[in-house]
Structure formats: structure tokens, C-alpha cells
Amino acid sequence: MKTNSSNPKIRAIAKHIHMSPHKVRRLVDQIRGRSYEQALMILEFMPYRACNPILQLLSSAAANANNNFGLSKTILFISEIKVDKGCFFKRFQPRAQGRGYPIQKPTCHITIVLNTLSKK
């Protein structure tokens, strides 16, 4: 894949996160388009369980930018972040008279694309 050296796009992907995509999108909408440092602050102080995997993925993407491109974390911002629906874990809940009711436990895939702030 060819990247533009003046403005590289840094990606990080987390797959099969054990959470509903609807609950994760609630948080993703809050940090979309923000700088790396603002997104860290927002995620650290929100009380939701979905904050932890997003926080880990965001720090992983920033580490990719630092190691692969030599970029400082202070000039990064979230240019694109999306949450896709993953496969369901299928389980059964025992019910009366020997029946089993199916339970579908949802998963999601989170993709973060970071970009650098252009100084004009």
C-alpha cells in the first residue's frame, strides 16, 4: 500500500470485541474528529464499559504512528473511526420443561484511522 509521506494515515483495528456495536457507537460519536489528547481525556472520565477497548485501540494507533512513522502523539487527530457489526456468539439459556432458549451475544469490530494536523 502506497502512503503519502507528508500526510500518512495510521490505522488500528480491533476485532471481535464482546460488546454491542450500538453501545460502542455511543462513545465513538463523542470522539470522532477530535485530537488524540482530547479523545484520551474524554474516554478516561466516561463511566461506560466500552471506553476501555476504545482507549486501548486509540493508544495502539498512536504507538503505531510513533514507531512506524516517527510522529509525535500531540499532532495526531482521529480522522475516521467506525464500528462494524461482528459475528454473534450463540449460547443457550435453560428454561422450564427441558427447553433451551437461544441467546445471541453480539460482537463488534472497531477501526481507527489517525491523521496528522496540517500546520498552515
pLDDT of residue 60: 93
Q: Where are the domains of the chain?
A: 22-116
Cell 488524540 maps to which residue? Answer: 36
Rounded distance, CA 12 to CA 80, Å? 11
Which DSSP symbol is given to 118? P
Name 11's bridge partners: 113
pLDDT of residue 119: 62
pLDDT along the chain (120 residues), means of 10: 61 94 93 92 93 94 91 90 94 94 95 82
Entry pTM: 0.83
CA distance 84 to 61: 18
What is the CATH superfamily name and number for domain 22-116? Ribosomal protein L22/L17 (3.90.470.10)
